[in-house]
Amino acid sequence: MCNGVKKEAGGVVRPLVSVLIVLLVAAVLIYEAVQSRTKQNNDAQESVPVDGSSADALANVALPGLGPEKPEVDSSSKEIIKDVLLSNVPKADYSYSFNGKLTDAVVVTRAGDVGRFNEGTYPETSEDVFPLFTEGVEGDALYLDGSYGVALQGVEPLNESYTISFWFRADELFDWSPFLMIGSHLMDVGGSQSYLSINRKTTEEGEQVVPIFNTIDAALNNSCEVRPSMEQKKWVNLNEWVYITICADASASSGAAEGRAMGYLYLNSELIGSGEVSLLNMEAENVYAYLGISCYDELFRASYDEVHIWKQLLDESQISSMYTAYIAS
């Protein structure tokens, strides 16, 4: 296992980016408030009787309150804010937003499950189980009730730099059970197995470490993981939405050893861990991408929203913009 910290979490860039984002959002909110106040005053003036006295006219004009007001931002203004924040973020190569239905994704179950475990089989598409949905960050989110998972369709090999982000809320968690898993030959242990996953583990001392960015490439005998590098090791609590992002930098300038890349783990846009991860060797005809299910591990109850995958490395400002765009809308 390889693990470490390449750069200090947070850094100097994050505060500057956060300040700029806050200023942009504040500018839009102020503009909306001014427009709203102007409209209110115009409407009030139009309601003044033409033949009334000046005293009657003043009585019908709505005077502004003396205390500070928090303007209500309508949906169009929220979209403006979101567009501004996302203007520096490239379009994802694969996006899964759900919103009450599965698009480019299918329900999968495993034959031969004992309880919620399996001795080893690939999940298969099920026409007997229907997906469930719940209130999410953007519209309706996908809900897994512990009896099924979801396979994301169309994902191609992630053998170079990549970024994956998604909103996640767990009702329960178990060691090793993957929040997300993408790879090839998932059951060919010691052979051609090559995958990435995000999961939880418990140390021998009983401390929960979550989330963990795990990578394995059996052909190169590489097995690496990135854990939270701060004193706090548990970053995902039950029944709370969190925004998880993982990145792999496979560029020559990353500083990683041969056959490896530099990996970064973010939670709510904050860098909480970094270290080397395995370079993957997925096969184009054998790529599996799962939410909440694998070939072996225990199924669990959790919600997912806004899953995005880029076949490139996003920087910290772009990750911060993505997170802020969702919480601002």
How far apart CA 37 and CA 129 sit, in angstroms, is: 51
What are the boundaries of each domain within the chain?
18-84, 88-328
CATH number of 88-328: 2.60.120.200
Q: For tokens 């930098």, what's the residue?
A: 249
How distant, in Å, are the alpha carbons of 44, 66, 139, 281 from that of 60?
Answer: 7, 18, 41, 73
Average pLDDT, integer, range 295-319 = 98
For residues 295, 297, 301, 305, the Cα torsion angle rounded to the nearest 10 degrees is -50
Dump pLDDT digits (tens) for 89-148.
999 999 999 999 999 999 999 999 999 999 999 999 999 999 999 999 989 999 999 999
Whether 258 has a pLDDT exceeding 70, the answer reads yes
| The pTM of the whole model exceeds 0.75 | yes
pLDDT of residue 230: 86
CA dihedral sign of residues 267, 270, 275, 280: positive
Show Cβ contacts of residue 103 under 8 Å, excluding neighbours closer than 6 positions: 96, 97
- Mean pLDDT score of the chain, rounded to an integer? 85
How far apart CA 212 and CA 82 sit, in angstroms, is: 29
Dump pLDDT digits (tens) for 179-226.
999 999 999 999 999 999 999 999 999 999 999 999 999 998 999 999
Whether 164 has a pLDDT exceeding 80, the answer reads yes
Q: For tokens 């500057």, what's the residue?
A: 16
